Structure 1
Amino acid sequence: MSKWIDISQALTNDIAHWPGDTPFNYKLSATKEQTGSANIGEITTSLHNGTHIDAPFHFNSNGKTVDQLDLDLYIGKAIVIDVSHTDNITAAVLENYQFDYATRLLLRTSLPNNPKRFPREFPYLDPEIAQFLSEKGIQLLGVDIPSVDAPDSKELTTHHALHRHGIHILENIMLKHVIPGSYDLIALPLAIHGADGSPVRAVLRPLKENES
């Protein structure tokens, strides 16, 4: 059986974060020598550092929070496609690919995903892809960039368009080492009550059709 491929960013104390947001920090709050029994660590972080999902509540105050989301969205068959030939990802671009009835789509874009550098610009995801993907049965869109919208966007147009069409969002995955094709995906969020997002450990396992 094929091994699982990690497509997550490791959470390190020098990982890039959104400008003005809470950086990730891990430290030992107590050592084994101090407690007499165990090392105890603690973290502080924005929920949108590294590889993470956005709950609808992130951009819609009436939207569902992380603990209200269906876990089936984040487990199952996914298609990885390479759209790195363009910085303008539109429905016309996506029409050139087969989705093989998967309900999860992962996009490998032109942006080199460097966990230690926050990019000034992202490839553009046209909000109109939401309707196209919905017609293809896509329920989860994953991208190897920090957001489906531009870093300076206040309207978050693509977030809202995807939400209107029932498509959930996975951001900041690592796909440079992944061959386009069909995979099993696991990208489970933490059960954080009332949260607008959550870090995930996202992994892929190739399906047999990739080897044929």
Structure 2
Amino acid sequence: MTKQWIDITQPLNQRIAEWPGDTPFAYEVAVSKEQSGSVNIGKLTMSTHIGTHTDAPFHYDDGGLKILDLPVDLYIGKACLVDVTGVSCVTRADLEAFDFDGAERLLVKTGSHPTPTKFPENFTVIGEDVGPLLKERGVRLIGVDTPSVDSETSKDLLGHHSLYRNDVIIIENLVLHSLEVGNYELIALPLALEDADGSPVRAVVRRLQS
């Protein structure tokens, strides 16, 4: 029997919290069926970094890769979920105890952003020493349940740059609270936005046999 897919995406709606100062999400029916005579046509206004999304390196590096430069297979395949709830900054030491060898994608459950409609005052970040560990373990993508791998006030973005130096791409704002520790199959495809610094993703997982 095929295991059920679980949606781990924040739904995009008018209530979702944006990064402070960023473009909020808005949807409207720009042309109604009554007006067109045949169809409703919607219009979106949003940041590329609202809700569940992936960062292209161009987001934090002017010379970095853009969304369409990234290989699509990054976003499809085996992922290992670890739980570090209660940690304010995830370090190499926090992750070394977990066995995620063989998984090219690491999902980090922190529990520090439980309400998508409210931007958190504080949330767990990823330490600068995590990037090298992930490269050693063969991890190419990290997914977190927080708005960023760095704090809201950070300007040097040590977590982002450390991950990029070690060839690790980032997904942020995943919904992980209902998932147990273990191995999953992940699909989290971005839109084919050629020159973009980021993209929303529709992220789903299903549990793999241990």
Same fold (TM over 0.5): yes
Question: 42-51 or 110-119: which moved more?
Answer: 110-119
Counterpart in 1 of 2:94?
Answer: 93
**Within the alignment, does 1:115 sit opposite 2:130 as a pair?**
no
Aligned-partner SS, 1:202: strand
For residues 17 and 82 of structure 1, the distance between their equivalents in structure 2, rounded to whole angstroms, comes to 25
Question: 67-76 or 80-89: which moved more?
Answer: 80-89
Provide, for residues 120-168 of structure 1, a one-character-per-residue CA deviation record: whole Å limited to 9, x for no partner: 2111321101101110111000000000000111111110000000000
Counterpart in 1 of 2:168?
Answer: 167
For residues 177 and 199 of structure 2, the distance between their equivalents in structure 1, rounded to whole angstroms, comes to 23
For residues 180 and 44 of structure 2, the distance between their equivalents in structure 1, rounded to whole angstroms, comes to 33
**Within the alignment, does 1:65 sit opposite 2:66 as a pair?**
yes
For residues 41 and 158 of structure 1, the distance between their equivalents in structure 2, rounded to whole angstroms, comes to 36
Give the conservation status (yes or no) of the 8 Å contact 1:187–1:202. Answer: yes
Gaps of 5+ in 2: none
Counterpart of 1:125, as a letter, is: I
TM-score (norm 2): 0.97
Aligned pairs for 1:18-167 (under 5 A) are 18-167=19-168
For residues 125 and 23 of structure 2, the distance between their equivalents in structure 1, rounded to whole angstroms, comes to 25
For residues 195 and 151 of structure 1, the distance between their equivalents in structure 2, rounded to whole angstroms, comes to 21
Counterpart in 1 of 2:194?
Answer: 193
For residues 178 and 111 of structure 2, the distance between their equivalents in structure 1, rounded to whole angstroms, comes to 13
For residues 51 and 88 of structure 1, the distance between their equivalents in structure 2, rounded to whole angstroms, comes to 21
For residues 202 and 186 of structure 2, the distance between their equivalents in structure 1, rounded to whole angstroms, comes to 10
Provide, for residues 33-91 of structure 1, a one-character-per-residue CA deviation record: whole Å limited to 9, x for no partner: 11100111010000000000000000001011001110000000000111103223111
Give the conservation status (yes or no) of the 8 Å contact 2:79–2:103. Answer: yes
Q: Kindly state the Cα deviation for residue 100 of structure 1 after the two structures are TM-superposed.
A: 3.6
Gaps of 5+ in 1: none
Counterpart in 2 of 1:176?
Answer: 177
How well do the aligned residues superpose, as a CA RMSD in angstroms?
0.9
Aligned-residue identity in percent: 49
Provide closer, same or farther for how the CA distance between residues 201 and 94 of structure 1 changes in structure 2, counting only shifts above 3 A.
same
Give the conservation status (yes or no) of the 8 Å contact 2:111–2:177. Answer: no
Counterpart of 1:161, as a letter, is: S
Aligned length: 209
TM-score (norm 1): 0.96
Q: Kindly state the Cα deviation for residue 96 of structure 1 after the two structures are TM-superposed.
A: 1.2
Moved over 6 A (4+): none
Counterpart of 2:136, as a letter, is: E
**Within the alignment, does 1:206 sit opposite 2:173 as a pair?**
no
For residues 77 and 160 of structure 1, the distance between their equivalents in structure 2, rounded to whole angstroms, comes to 24
